[in-house]
Amino acid sequence: MKIILEKIFHFLSSVRLTIILLILLALACTCGTLLPQNQPLTIYQKQFGNLGTKLIDALSLNDVYHAIWFQFLLFSLSINLIICSLDRLPKTWRLWRYEKKEVDKKFFKHLPLSEKIVCSMPLEKAKEKIISLFEKDFPKIEVISNPVFALYGKKGNISYWGPYIVHSGILVVLLGAIITSVFGFSGSMFIPEGEVSNTVFLHGKGHKIHNLPFSLKCEKFIIEYYPNGTPKEYISHLTIIDGKQKISKIIKVNAPLDYRGFRFYQANYGVASRPTLTLFVINRKTGEKFEITVPFNQSVSLPDGKGSIKVVRAFSDLMNMGPAFQLVVIEDDKPQTTWVIERFPQFDAMHRKGKYAFVLKNYTRYTGLQVKKDPGVWIVWIGCLIIIGGLAIGLFVIPQKMWLHLTPHPKGCEILIGGMATKRRTLFKHTFQRWIKQIKEGLSCGT
Amino acid sequence: MWNIKILSYVTFLYLGCFLLYLAVVIFRKERFWKIATYATIFTLILHTFGIILRWIESHKLGIGHAPLSNLYESLIFFAWCIALLYLFIERKYKNPYLGAFVIPFAFLIMAYASFSPDVNSRIEPLVPALKSNWLIAHVITCFLAYGAFAVSCGLSIIYLLRKKEGKFWDIFPPKSQLDELIYQTIAFGFTFLTIGIVTGAVWADKAWGSYWSWDPKETWSLITWFVYALFLHCRMVRGWRETKMAIVSIIGFISVLFTYFGVNFLLSGLHSYAKPG
């Protein structure tokens, strides 16, 4: 029993498991991008047949990222990460604490980088000079004067903690993501211009409704265009109605509104379900042009007072022609049906006879807002910063050590210098050569 | 548009730089090396000028924005990152023979941007979703990462081609040094990819209302992140070296290419600004 437990622990703490999990996660994500997600099963039936669809349904391949097995993979990765880190902690601690300050001549031979330099400078003067040279590289340089004059410097050992910092950052991000999905929600609001609402339609299965503790009124929804006709900006002018307070706010794409822990985003827009139209009424004979406002399903009299007009139906997209509205026009007691269509202003003039022709000027829209409450987002950002900091420390700080012996020599003094880096050795070789150059120039000596 | 003309000249200059580096490999003359390096520096300066000119010209059109907003502009910037990182490595490691394997990436990307009928080089106004300062931070960090991964892929190819001994191959850095260079470019790329994903998440949280929505581009950048995380773990903990690592590095770059091109061409999603056409 004990052996089995040990084996399980060994497996959970192995990097082999990490590698397997990373490969599995990468494959799962690939599957999630190549297979269309969250489609009704009938769509898969056409492409993959009965058996394929059953397989997709059983493994939730149509919703990979929310499947239980996918979350199990993420969970396993977190466990593996924690156990791995704990398992390696003593080893890292030893590396971090490891010091060998006093060394003998033989030690230099075993170092990957070492060099002997003879200088003509007298010993005492050389001692001072060499300390000042290396103080810049090693802020905490140690001077040992017995049995020989020696220097010992180390820096960058913090690099050993880089992986731990990155891994704890990942755990913090995952914690934030869990808080987001458990305590947060997101949904949509649709507010027609001039109307007030506090109803949020929650995203996800079940189509639930959430009522905000305050209301929003959409004063106006505006689309700005570039000269070439492409949209430049979508803007909602809103008023927050919170008890007696009324606050005017603007929401644009990329500029959401924060209020009482909720965040509102400009998401979409469309024709209001009971729109009020502004129409140009053109007298066909005289060319006179009037402007009238027609609320939905209410009769409004025509300019000559001898007839009326009423909006009976509204379509945000009528047979791919865009927004269109059905009107009932009564002229000379004869009712006629007609359409005003945003993209075809001449439609009524061309398809109906009568005293007046109608052209659409404007109609009321609704603004579609995305609403979000996300208490986990700050935790995610903190986790991200920890990860980036950990990567910088772990990958770019080089743990390095330097030993130096300064002994008397018939010509003046002899310097024995050795260096070691546990990461990025090629780069460290350049640093080491710089040290040697520095000594040779500083103490003005040949080899 | 002057910027487009200049950038298409830059394409040919990169071809010239590549040939010069090839000459360095073939003739092994120090003189060629200096010429090749200066030629690349000159090309990079002209390239930078082209990008800045494009920025200025967009302001003259009244739709001013940083030239990082569509496929053409991102390709141009991608090539710029590769050339810059290459020069940096050449300076730091003092080996002229790598250029012949890295500069062609910059040339091919520039050529694709300038001459493919799929890539629209016109300056166009920004759609509302792209109007954000995060655009610059996000695109720059991502493409520095892509550039580093391209360089590491070039180095990995040299690594795999290099025989243990042999007259021709002796000029390249020894295998162990190449191995370390591959690791270092990947360490750089991985850090910037992480920053790129994070800045992207911050931006997505502001523009789309969610820091992570499993959009294909996001997901593929995560897959790329997994592949390079795998690389780092295999190397640092399992002690893998050399051939295996070079292969993982090439797989990683294939994943980068899919994140960049495959997602744009084959999958639809929120990142549709970078679509060709």
H or E, element range at A198: strand A196-202
Query: In the listed set B78, B105, B126, which residue is the last one of a domain according to the structure?
Result: B126
pLDDT of residue B224: 95
pLDDT of residue B274: 53
Question: pLDDT 10s per residue in chain A (447 long)?
Answer: 778 888 888 888 888 888 899 999 999 998 888 888 877 778 788 778 788 888 888 887 888 888 889 999 999 999 998 988 888 888 888 888 888 877 888 888 888 888 888 888 888 888 888 888 888 888 888 888 877 888 888 888 899 999 999 999 999 999 999 998 888 888 899 999 988 999 999 887 777 888 999 999 999 998 888 887 788 889 999 999 998 889 999 999 888 999 988 999 998 888 888 899 998 988 888 888 888 889 998 888 888 888 889 999 998 888 888 889 999 988 888 888 889 998 888 888 888 888 888 998 889 999 999 999 888 899 999 999 999 999 999 988 888 888 988 888 888 888 889 998 887 777 788 888 888 888 888 877 765
CA distance to A341, A421, B73, B185, per residue, from A165 (Å)? 61, 21, 36, 21
- Using an 8 Å CB-CB cutoff, list chain A residues near B263: 33
B226/A32 touch (CB, cutoff 8 Å), yes or no? no
Q: How far is A322 from chain B (nearest CA, A)?
A: 20
Q: Hey, is B176 helix, strand or coil?
A: helix
Q: How far is B127 from chain A (nearest CA, A)?
A: 6
Nearest residue to A11 (alpha-carbon basis) of A94, A75, A76: A76
* DSSP structure class, residue A110: H
Burial category of B107 from C-beta neighbours within 10 Å (exposed 0-12, middle 13-18, buried 19 and up): buried
If asked whether residues B196 and B276 sit together in one domain, one would say yes
Torsion on CA atoms B37, B41, B46, B52, rounded to nearest 10: 150
If asked whether residues B77 and B166 sit together in one domain, one would say no
If asked whether residues B141 and B270 sit together in one domain, one would say yes
Enumerate residues 59 to 98 of chain A having a beta carbon within 8 A of any beta carbon in chain B. Answer: 65
Q: How far is B36 from chain A (nearest CA, A)?
A: 24
pLDDT of residue B25: 81
> Shortest CB distance from B206 goes to which of A23, A256, A392?
A256
Query: In the listed set B86, B101, B126, which residue is the last one of a domain according to the structure?
Result: B126
If asked whether residues B133 and B269 sit together in one domain, one would say yes
If asked whether residues B113 and B208 sit together in one domain, one would say no
CA distance to A224, B61, B65, B271, per residue, from A227 (Å)? 10, 10, 16, 24
Name the CA radius of gyration of chain B, rounded: 19
> Shortest CB distance from B223 goes to which of A26, A395, A396?
A26
Nearest residue to B182 (alpha-carbon basis) of B167, B171, B170, B172: B172
Task: Compute the Cα dihedral for A66, A72, A73, A77 and give only its sign.
Answer: positive
pLDDT of residue B132: 84
Nearest residue to B221 (alpha-carbon basis) of B199, B244, B188, B247: B199
pLDDT of residue A446: 60
Q: How far is A392 from chain B (nearest CA, A)?
A: 7
If asked whether residues B87 and B216 sit together in one domain, one would say no
If asked whether residues B88 and B167 sit together in one domain, one would say no
Residue of A nearest to B214 (CA): A65
If asked whether residues B159 and B271 sit together in one domain, one would say yes
| CATH, domain range A182-272+367-383 | 2.60.98
Q: Which residues contact B19 (CB under 8 A, 6 or more apart)?
A: none
- Using an 8 Å CB-CB cutoff, list chain A residues near B191: 388, 391-392, 395-396
Report the alpha-carbon distance of residue B96 to residue B99 in Å, rounded: 6
Q: Hey, is A438 helix, strand or coil?
A: helix
Architecture of domain A99-156+398-442 in this structure: 2-Layer Sandwich (3.30)
If asked whether residues B140 and B105 sit together in one domain, one would say no
* DSSP structure class, residue B271: T
- Using an 8 Å CB-CB cutoff, list chain A residues near B92: 427, 430
pLDDT of residue B277: 42
A387/B194 touch (CB, cutoff 8 Å), yes or no? yes
Helices and strands (H, E) in chain A, number of each type: 10, 20
Nearest residue to A272 (alpha-carbon basis) of A343, A367, A354: A367
Report the alpha-carbon distance of residue B193 to residue B202 in Å, rounded: 14
If asked whether residues B49 and B100 sit together in one domain, one would say yes
Query: In the listed set B67, B100, B126, which residue is the last one of a domain according to the structure?
Result: B126
Best A251, A426, A433 member to test B by mutation, with max B CBs in 10 Å, is A426
- Using an 8 Å CB-CB cutoff, list chain A residues near B125: 226, 228, 230, 232
> Shortest CB distance from B233 goes to which of A15, A252, A388?
A15
Residue of A nearest to B268 (CA): A33
If asked whether residues B95 and B143 sit together in one domain, one would say no
User: Containing domain of residue B199, as a range?
Assistant: 127-277
Strand spans (E) along A374-447: 400-409, 412-421
Q: Which residues of chain B have pLDDT under 70?
A: 163-171, 241, 268-277
Planar angle of CA A370, A372, A373, nearest 5 degrees: 165
Q: How many domains does chain B have?
A: 2
Nearest residue to A365 (alpha-carbon basis) of A148, A189, A159, A191: A191
B238/A15 touch (CB, cutoff 8 Å), yes or no? yes
- Using an 8 Å CB-CB cutoff, list chain B residues near A393: none
If asked whether residues B169 and B99 sit together in one domain, one would say no
